[in-house]
Amino acid sequence: MNTSGPSKYPVINVRGLTLIYVSLCILTVLFSRTFFSETLRDGTIPGRLNQIIFFTIPVVLLAFLAYSILGIFRDLAARRTGSKFKVRLLVYFMITVVFAAVPVTMVTGLAMNELLRFWRAIEAEQAVQAAQGFALQAYSLHMEKLEVLAKTVHFDPWMEGGQAGPLPPGILAVQDFAGEEEGSWKSLALAGDSRHALASAPLGREGFMGREMPRDTDVIRYAFPLSGGGELRVLTYDLGEGFDASIRAIENQAQQFEIIDSLRENLRPLLVFFYGVFFFPSLLMTAIIAISFTRRIAQPLVDLTEATRRVAEGDFSIQILARRGDELGLLVSSFNSMVRDLEKSRTALLRSEKISIWQNMAQQLAHEIKNPLTPIKLSAERVLRRWRNEPDRVGEILEGSMLAIIQEVEGLSTLLTEFRTLSRPMENSQSYGESGNAAFTTELREAITESIAPYRSSHPQVRFEMSHTGGGITVKIDQHRMNQILSNLFINAIDAMEGRGLIEIRADLVKKRETRYCRLSIRDTGKGISKQEGPLVFTPYFTTKETGTGLGLPIVERIVNDHGGSIWFNSAEGMGTTFFIDLPVAAGSDQDGFNSHHR
């Protein structure tokens, strides 16, 4: 039993593609986090190396998609069954994907354009510069106030301990230092918050001291010498809680706005990069899955179409293997059941037809045998009657009667021989294909030349044309059967032309599915076959000739069919008839003598 399937699917099935798609989504999420964090931190598109790494996945997917689409178009170019249906189904899938992707793309693009417009409307740089100006102005005011306090307020009472009141507003601590011989300074006294005491003395000069973080967070210091020049006083001034933190926040925001300005310039390339790395692979993966689904959906229908064609050609042994869980499994099972029922019905019909054919053949044979028996009987009775009544004159009718009896007996012998040929199995039927025995092959041109020879001499007014029959052509049939075919067809052609005309023999190479055939055509210029006679040409005992048996063409058909070939004809009344015979070509046959055709 011939079995169709399993169906051919892509190298990666739907489950594998789904797994790849999920992995791609996970990688997209992971890489997108890195992508956005680095982009927002630096404000630039990724470098060349990162671009190569990022675009590797889209390129691989694009190559795989191109290969899949190429396979579909290769099937379309080869006109394989179901290729057009696959293309239409793929187009529907792709249109759905595009319809789903276009709105998202458009909305994203519009959102980015609005975002750009909004960024351009924000005067971030001016705001940052104003904030920095206000901070600098406040810092300058604090410095001026501290310098005024240092020059106008006498801090001796606080340092000597004679006054217990708080320090002037803004002053957190006052600290005195005394100079020593080796040039260093030593702390003498401290008034105010001890957390702002200096562990080491400042340089011995008047003015604002350099700020050291985190020691001088939210404070500034001013140093000036006391009278006599041997001592130094340091004032610690409060800038306000969070002053330095506010300054740092303003600086950070300035940096962020610089990054935003850079992003504003690179936003379109970043958008293209984003779509190329994250969105485009998803579309490619969706398209690849669509192709896989297309093949998965279409393949069972293709199998059904191919199986239906084979059933129409007479192959009732075909069975389709349904895939487990296939939605079309019920349809496939119904088709297989239908084919099995058809096979049973055909077998019963063939058995009935065979019985009917043999009954008809027996009736025809009985009729054909009965016809010559009458003249045989009459001739014998005539001789017997003469022998009884006039024995001395029996010689007058003896020779004629005996010749008539002999002629009719020879006719019966020929009839029975042809009947035996038609009814018995062909010894060499398709045996070459099974055994490979070269004894069952025939060189075609040699067989044609041998068969033509006796008719060239006996019918000089018949011209045989075989220039389109190349040498080296070998067919899978033995020499004797080939001569039977050719002789019957040549005799019929000569009779149709009444012994005068052209018989053209031609050989062509044809290919039916995976088998090569030699198509032999024999054309005559005779009277042709009428439309009424055409359907009966291969029927046993049908003949239009007075001396014919009606078994010649049925025998030819039987020989051709039993050797894996086929025979048919084209005819037009008054124009002639062409008989076509397809016979399998033997391995190693020379193809140079063929005109190639495909079916």
3-state SS, 27-47, equals HHHHHHHHHHHHHHHHCCCCC
pTM: 0.39
Q: Is the peptide bond before 540 cis (omega within 30 degrees of 0)?
A: no
Of the candidates 420, 438, 418, the residue with the CA atom closest to the CA atom of residue 428: 438
Q: What is the pLDDT of residue 523?
A: 93
Residue 190 pairs in a beta bridge with 175
Q: What is the pLDDT of residue 350?
A: 72
Higher pLDDT, 111 or 260: 111
Q: What is the pLDDT of residue 2?
A: 56
Contact in structure between 451 and 483 (CB atoms under 8 Å): yes
Q: Which residue has the tokens 């391995």?
A: 587
Of the candidates 520, 538, 522, 513, the residue with the CA atom closest to the CA atom of residue 582: 520
Most confident region among 33-47, 247-261, 305-319, 512-526 by mean pLDDT = 512-526
Of the candidates 173, 221, 226, 176, the residue with the CA atom closest to the CA atom of residue 201: 176
pLDDT by residue (tens digit) across 288-297? 777 777 777 7
* Interstrand relation of 474-475 and 442-443 (parallel, antiparallel or unpaired): antiparallel
Lowest mean pLDDT among 319-323, 502-506, 582-586: 319-323
Q: What is the pLDDT of residue 110?
A: 79
Higher pLDDT, 389 or 5: 389
Report the percent of the chain where pLDDT is more than 90. 9
Does pLDDT of 550 surpass 80?
Answer: no
Q: What is the pLDDT of residue 520?
A: 92
Does pLDDT of 431 surpass 60?
Answer: no
Does pLDDT of 578 surpass 90?
Answer: yes
User: Rounded CA gap, 231 and 216, in Å?
Assistant: 23
Lowest mean pLDDT among 258-267, 436-445, 536-545: 258-267
Q: Which residue has the tokens 């789903």?
A: 100
DSSP 552: H
Taking residues 251-273, what's their average pLDDT? 70
User: Rounded CA gap, 566 and 584, in Å?
Assistant: 10
Lowest mean pLDDT among 41-50, 282-291, 345-354: 41-50
Residues belonging to the chain: 599
Of the candidates 473, 485, 366, 479, the residue with the CA atom closest to the CA atom of residue 419: 366
Cα Rg, the chain, nearest whole Å = 55
Does pLDDT of 504 surpass 90?
Answer: yes
Q: What is the pLDDT of residue 9?
A: 44
> Regarding the domain delimited by 431-598, which CATH topology (the fold level of the hierarchy) does it fall under?
Heat Shock Protein 90 (3.30.565)
Taking residues 474-493, what's their average pLDDT? 88
Helix 280-312, helix 83-121: angle, nearest 10: 170
CB-based burial label for 164 (10 Å; 0-12, 13-18, 19+): exposed
Taking residues 481-505, what's their average pLDDT? 90
Mean of per-residue pLDDT scores for the chain: 77
User: Sorting pLDDT into bands at 50, 70 and 90, what band is 428?
Assistant: very low
Contact in structure between 567 and 580 (CB atoms under 8 Å): yes
pLDDT by residue (tens digit) across 128-179? 778 888 888 888 998 999 888 888 888 888 887 755 578 888 899 998 888 7
Report the percent of the chain where pLDDT is more than 70. 74
Q: How far is CA 16 from CA 10, 20, 289, 333, 347, in A?
A: 10, 6, 10, 28, 46
Of the candidates 490, 492, 500, 493, the residue with the CA atom closest to the CA atom of residue 452: 490
Q: What is the pLDDT of residue 595?
A: 47
Q: What is the pLDDT of residue 162?
A: 58
Does pLDDT of 434 surpass 60?
Answer: no
Q: What is the pLDDT of residue 324?
A: 61
Q: What is the pLDDT of residue 145?
A: 92
Of the candidates 558, 562, 521, 561, the residue with the CA atom closest to the CA atom of residue 540: 558
Lowest mean pLDDT among 30-34, 394-398, 489-493, 499-503: 30-34
Does pLDDT of 570 surpass 70?
Answer: yes
Most confident region among 82-91, 143-152, 295-304, 311-320 by mean pLDDT = 143-152
Show me where the domains of the chain are located: 3-123+256-312, 151-245, 329-423, 431-598
Does pLDDT of 432 surpass 50?
Answer: no
Residue 361 pairs in a beta bridge with none
Taking residues 259-283, what's their average pLDDT? 69
CB-based burial label for 116 (10 Å; 0-12, 13-18, 19+): middle
Alpha helices in 122-227 (DSSP H): 124-152, 156-160
User: Rounded CA gap, 247 and 253, in Å?
Assistant: 10
With b for 16 or more beta-carbon neighbours within 10 A and e for fewer, the 427-464 pattern comes to: ebbbbbeeeeeeebbbbbbebbeebbeebeeebeebeb
Q: What is the pLDDT of residue 392?
A: 83
